[in-house]
């Protein structure tokens, strides 16, 4: 359904520039704009498209408002404003609820009002699904799982026994929460399994990306705080704790019993060793390996920036010679 630009400005407290009667029916990019679409400018790299875009409207910062060639909305943070406006065009979930004939729901499960369960899904005894929960095809909800109101589970999501998921969460296809933590002990040359007797507790408003896995705790629980955003293909081991409002990009791996603070951001493929503590408001750039606790807020990196193969080999060769250079400096300083 189309909405007038003036209505969007009023609804989200944005300054209107130009014709407020322009009708917006969706979103688009600046470079590939279209009539009826609204775009945004947050990255200066794309400013060159602002004067020629075919979008019907653009969300910009105040500094870029004078360069608009279309009607627009002025925001303190154009990307945040775009996120809110774009939500206008997300199809609303089925509020009525429906249980597919091929879903398997144990009579000991409890389903709130308006719950939807798709074909092939399994809901075990003791599971409690809050109002408006949506369960995708072939999802498995284990015994005594608790799911808060309005949470959405995609196809093939698995929640193992006793897992707790908060309200308004979204779990994308293939997510596994509560599988056995990787606990092993060596005994006389053979591995024996250490029982994993905790569970996983996920807060409210959490998003978990496709094929991400979160292991249950060994003794205490693995805990994911409120408003945490987790990308695809992330591995979170047993007894990890992640504070509120943190975000983890794809392929992050966190080893057992590490704690991540609130408002932390971990870039793609970051690795965190076990039994570490990372304080609040830490940003870790992609491919960084964290092998010690981080006690001070800030930005941390360890990845090696890309270079040509020839330059990379030279850099490695220099590093390998550093030991010899250090020895020579020590000799010179000692007067030997």
Residues involved in catalysis: 238
C-alpha span between 272 and 264 (Å, rounded) = 13
- Radius of gyration of the chain from its Cα atoms, rounded to whole angstroms: 25
Between the alpha carbon of residue 63 and those of residues 48, 60, 240, the distances in Å are 14, 8, 43
Q: Which helix (H) or strand (E) holds 329?
A: helix 309-334
Contact 112, 132 (CB under 8 A): yes
- Two structure tokens written together for 320: 């390998």
Name 115's Cβ contacts closer than 8 Å, sequence gap at least 6. Answer: 97, 99, 129, 131, 132, 133, 134, 135
Between the alpha carbon of residue 242 and those of residues 20, 204, 268, the distances in Å are 43, 13, 17
> What single string gives the DSSP state of each residue in 31-99?
TT--TTEEEE--SGGGGGGTTT---SEEEE-GGGGGG-SS-EEE-SSHHHHHHHHHGGGSPPP-SS--B
DSSP-assigned beta bridge partners for residue 43 = none
> Angle between the 78-86 and 5-12 helix axes, to the nearest 10 degrees?
110
Give the distance, in angstroms, between the CA of residue 209 and the centroid of all CA atoms in the same chain: 6
- Two structure tokens written together for 32: 């590939």
C-alpha span between 234 and 261 (Å, rounded) = 17
DSSP-assigned beta bridge partners for residue 192 = 185
């Amino acid at each position: 359904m189309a909405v007038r630009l003036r209505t969007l400005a009023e609804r989200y407290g944005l300054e209107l520039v130009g014709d407020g009667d322009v009708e917006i029916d969706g979103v688009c990019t600046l470079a590939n704009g279209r009539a009826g679409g609204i775009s945004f400018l947050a990255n200066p790299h794309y400013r060159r498209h602002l004067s020629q875009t075919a979008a019907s409207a653009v969300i910009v910062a105040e500094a870029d408002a004078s360069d608009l060639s279309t009607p627009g909305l002025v925001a303190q943070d154009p990307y945040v404003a775009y996120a809110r406006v774009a939500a206008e065009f997300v199809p609303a979930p089925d509020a009525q609820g429906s249980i597919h004939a091929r879903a398997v729901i144990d009579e000991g499960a409890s389903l709130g009002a308006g719950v939807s369960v798709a074909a092939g899904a399994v809901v075990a005894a003791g599971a409690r699904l809050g109002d408006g929960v949506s369960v995708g095809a072939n999802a498995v909800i284990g015994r005594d799982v608790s799911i808060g109101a309005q949470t959405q589970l995609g196809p093939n999501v698995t929640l193992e026994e006793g897992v707790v998921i908060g309200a308004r969460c979204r779990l994308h296809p293939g997510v596994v929460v509560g599988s056995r933590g990787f606990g092993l002990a060596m005994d006389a040359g053979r591995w024996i399994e250490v029982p994993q007797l905790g569970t996983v507790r996920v807060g409210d408003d959490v998003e978990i990306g496709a094929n991400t896995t979160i292991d249950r705790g060994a003794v205490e629980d693995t805990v994911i705080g409120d408003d945490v955003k987790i990308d695809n293909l992330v591995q979170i081991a047993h007894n990890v704790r992640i504070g509120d409002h943190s975000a983890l990009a794809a392929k992050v791996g966190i080893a057992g019993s590490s704690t991540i603070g609130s408002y932390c951001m971990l870039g793609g493929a970051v690795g965190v060793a076990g039994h570490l503590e990372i304080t609040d408001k830490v940003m870790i750039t992609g491919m960084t390996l964290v092998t010690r606790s981080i006690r001070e807020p800030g930005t941390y990196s360890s990845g090696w920036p890309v270079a040509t193969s020839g330059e990379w080999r030279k850099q490695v060769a220099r590093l390998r010679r550093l030991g010899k250079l250090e020895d020579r400096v020590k000799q010179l300083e000692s007067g030997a």
